[in-house]
Amino acid sequence: MHAGTVRHRHDTSAVNPRAAHLSLALRHVAEASGQISRAGIAARTGLNRSTASSLIDELINGGLVKETGATTRNRAGRPGTALALRDDGPAGLGVDVNVDYTAVCVVDLTGAVRYKHVVAEDQRGHTNTGIRHRIATLAHTARTAAATSGLTLSGSAVAVPGIVDRTRATVTLAPNLGWRDLDVTEVLPGDVHGLLDNEANFAALSEATLLHDRASYLYVSGQIGVGAGIVLDGRLYRGTHGWSGEIGHLTVDRDGPACPCGRRGCLERYAGQEAILRAAGVSSDPGTSLGVRPTVALIADRARTGDPATLAALTRAGEVLGATLAGCLNLLDLGHVVLGGIYRDLAPWIAPEVEREVATQFLGAPWARPTVEVAAYGPEAPAIGAARSVIHDILSDPLRWLNR
């Protein structure tokens, strides 16, 4: 092959077949990493063996794919050389700026978390520039940590609790952080691009690769509020403005208790963290609670000891949550729900109720009973999802990395 590769592709064309094929081949390697050969890719994609070979060579030269020593076994004939994603190539940096903690993590091409660091500290006391400096420092240490593992950051993504404008990569409004029209990504390393999105959305993506590659599901994130991330065919659905997944203020009961949003009987008033605390008889004084974890752990402790008020509160929350989710499943025809955030910690008591309600109220249940699953990651989910979204971008357009 040519030693000096292609240098400047103008790439004005609307459709770039080579890029699409490179992505196709790379994603097939990712799906069966270490278990697939060039011929296998050719067979599964429908491309010619020679074409698949050429694509794989380019991916190997680009540092995305490697040949493992192993050979794929077959009945007869020459065994193929197994291909796998490199775990020392590009990596994604994920940052999660929340009200009471900040998390950074680095994920390699295989989706494995290679570095993770969570700092529990209330950000409300700091200035904007103070927080941004903090982020920059954390990100810098993450980069050096990645470099020692042989990883190079290809991009970064930031999760924030608020509304974002992805096209301009700015935070439109994050009330709990006191941010408004702020560019967060400029302080980050990883020169390629800085992605930005809502926490619930990135948290939803943290489950994407664990399930089937093109899965569709609803990720519910319980916090003070209740949010959801909608994943369709393995990709986030963001809606026309990027505000999708607002289920916290779906009306459960028009005559229910008043909500700060101005309506009555919102889901949050039944299944939000504050509501569960109040129903369980726990003081929800913000002065004493240091963040999400301790109070939720307290509830879980009480439930384990069999406290009736707590158990009743959790049952009620699970019922209402399940009924609301069933409605969402009916609208979207989704067969899978993932419970994240506080619902993950309270899953032993919440999940059965949700499962029952969903199984009862989902119209397609007789033919396809929906499944309810507990999230794999806790508070680090948004950061991991953010980092994985960077990896996802590489998998869907490897040329950008190869031409870097």
Partner DNA sequence: TCGATTTGTTGCTGGGCACAACATACGGGT
Partner DNA sequence: ACCCGTATGTTGTGCCCAGCAACAAATCGA
Question: Where do contacts with DNA occur on this chain (CB under 7 A)?
Answer: 6, 10, 12-13, 17-18, 21, 37-40, 43, 46-51, 53-55, 57, 71, 73-81
Whether 39 and 80 have beta carbons less than 8 Å apart is answered as yes
Partner interacting with residue 363 (select from its own copies, DNA, none; CB below 5-8 Å by kind): its own copies
Starting at the edge strand found earlier in the chain, the sheet holding 90-97 runs 113-120, 101-108, 90-97, 152-160, 194-198
Closest CA to 134 of 334, 237, 125: 125
Q: How far is CA 195 from CA 65, 157, 166, 167, 205, in A?
A: 24, 4, 7, 9, 13
Whether 402 and 58 have beta carbons less than 8 Å apart is answered as yes
| Encoded tokens for 328 | 């969402």
- Minimum Å gap between C-beta 84 and DNA is 12
Q: Give, as ranges, the residues between 195 and 254 that touch its own copies (CB under 8 A).
A: 216, 228, 230, 232, 237-247, 249-254
Q: Does 69 bind its own copies (CB under 8 A)?
A: no
Q: Which of 133, 212, 333, 404 binds its own copies (CB under 8 A)?
A: 333
CA 377 – CA 213 distance, rounded (Å): 18
- Which CB sits closer to its own copies, 16 or 110? 16
Binding-residue total with its own copies (CB under 8 A): 50
Q: Does 38 bind its own copies (CB under 8 A)?
A: no
Q: Give, as ranges, the residues between 146 and 185 that touch its own copies (CB under 8 A).
A: none
- Which CB sits closer to its own copies, 92 or 245? 245
Partner interacting with residue 119 (select from its own copies, DNA, none; CB below 5-8 Å by kind): none
Q: Which of 313, 334, 384, 390 binds its own copies (CB under 8 A)?
A: 334
Amino acid at 249: H
Q: Which of 1, 3, 4, 17 binds its own copies (CB under 8 A)?
A: 17
Q: Does 335 bind its own copies (CB under 8 A)?
A: yes
Whether 206 and 376 have beta carbons less than 8 Å apart is answered as yes
Q: Does 59 bind its own copies (CB under 8 A)?
A: no
Partner interacting with residue 27 (select from DNA, its own copies, none; CB below 5-8 Å by kind): none
- Minimum Å gap between C-beta 186 and its own copies is 25
Question: Phi, psi at residue 155, to the nearest 5°?
Answer: 180, 175
- Minimum Å gap between C-beta 216 and its own copies is 5
Q: Give, as ranges, the residues between 289 and 328 that touch its own copies (CB under 8 A).
A: 323, 327-328
Partner interacting with residue 74 (select from its own copies, DNA, none; CB below 5-8 Å by kind): DNA
Q: Does 1 bind its own copies (CB under 8 A)?
A: no
- Minimum Å gap between C-beta 280 and its own copies is 22
CA 125 – CA 129 distance, rounded (Å): 12
Per-position DSSP letters for 3-55, written without gaps between them: SS--------SS--HHHHHHHHHHHHHHHTTTSB-HHHHHHHH---HHHHHHH
- Which CB sits closer to DNA, 58 or 268? 58
- Which CB sits closer to DNA, 57 or 253? 57
Distance separating the N- and C-terminal Cα atoms of the chain: 20
Per-position DSSP letters for 304-351, written without gaps between them: HHT-HHHHHHHHHHHHHHHHHHHHHHHHHT--EEEEEEHHHHTHHHHH
- Which CB sits closer to DNA, 81 or 176? 81
Partner interacting with residue 228 (select from DNA, its own copies, none; CB below 5-8 Å by kind): its own copies
User: Which residues, 6+ apart, have CB-to-CB distance to 341 below 8 Å?
Assistant: 203, 220, 221, 222, 223, 375
* Residues binding its own copies (CB under 8 A): 12-15, 17, 20-21, 24, 45-48, 216, 228, 230, 232, 237-247, 249-254, 261, 263, 323, 327-328, 330-335, 360-361, 363-364, 367-368
